[in-house]
Amino acid sequence: MARTTTPLTDHVAIVTGAGQGIGKASALALAEAGATVVAVDINEGTLAETAGELRKLGARTLAIRADLGSVPEIDRLVTETMAAFGQIDILVNNAGVTRRAYIMDLTEEDWDRIHRVNAKGVFFCLQRVAKEMIPRRSGRIINIASVAGKGFPGVSNAIYAASKGAVISLTKTASQQLGIHNINVNSVCPGIVRTALYQDIVRIMSEKEGLSIEAVEKRAVAGVPLGRANEPEDIADMVVFLALPESRNVTGQSFNVDGGLIPD
């Protein structure tokens, strides 16, 4: 749903993993709220689609292809953003990877691949963007974690859970150390979200267990008190709230958006 006000006019937001899912929904929602959006993704095709939709909304935008597991790539995307717009007001630290696997089937390669983006990438994006926010004494950093980091038993795998737990802990410490610079740091912990990644996991489970897609999806939401999965826009709405002036005194928190899946 299009927003009728533009409270984030004159704000510049970086959204990582903006090519699809939560990242794309967040980029569009921030643009609807008036922000200039720097969309970042490793996939050029989906990134171009998001950039096109942002421009249709009339938003100022910049699309940057970058590998969020690479510190030099992170430095480059921030440098390009500063060269284009001269400021960064909001970071949505969303890029992440996973795969469906039992704990005993996970490998060192899985650990390195998942933590490279989900933990290392989130930290160094936060650090590099904070470097630009500190002199301006203003900024909102919004990390996309997961209820997986809080013990959700239906997690895709244990390594992913560990990486999201790291994001939640990072959020707390970063909020304490950056608060003196008037930088708010919060995280959003989605539950089940209908993204391409979710659909891939559902498909794999369907094939493995010989069940229909509909049966797997019905089982997935059976334990959700509200009885429904999230759409990416549900997460984006929380992201926008945390970027708005109204949340100026909210920091160090990890907000579940999960239909009541994990009481917290």
Question: Could you list the active site residues?
Answer: 160
CA–CA dist 94, 111 (Å, integer): 18
CA–CA dist 175, 171 (Å, integer): 6
Measured CA to CA in angstroms, residue 81 lies from 62, 84, 110, 138 at distances of 8, 5, 31, 17
AA identity, residue 43? N
156, 162 contact by CB (below 8 A): no
Instruction: Give me the sheet containing 183-190, strands edge to edge.
Output: 61-65, 36-41, 12-16, 90-93, 139-144, 183-190, 254-257
Nearest Cα neighbor of 126 from 158, 88, 86 is 88
Nearest Cα neighbor of 156 from 98, 218, 211 is 98
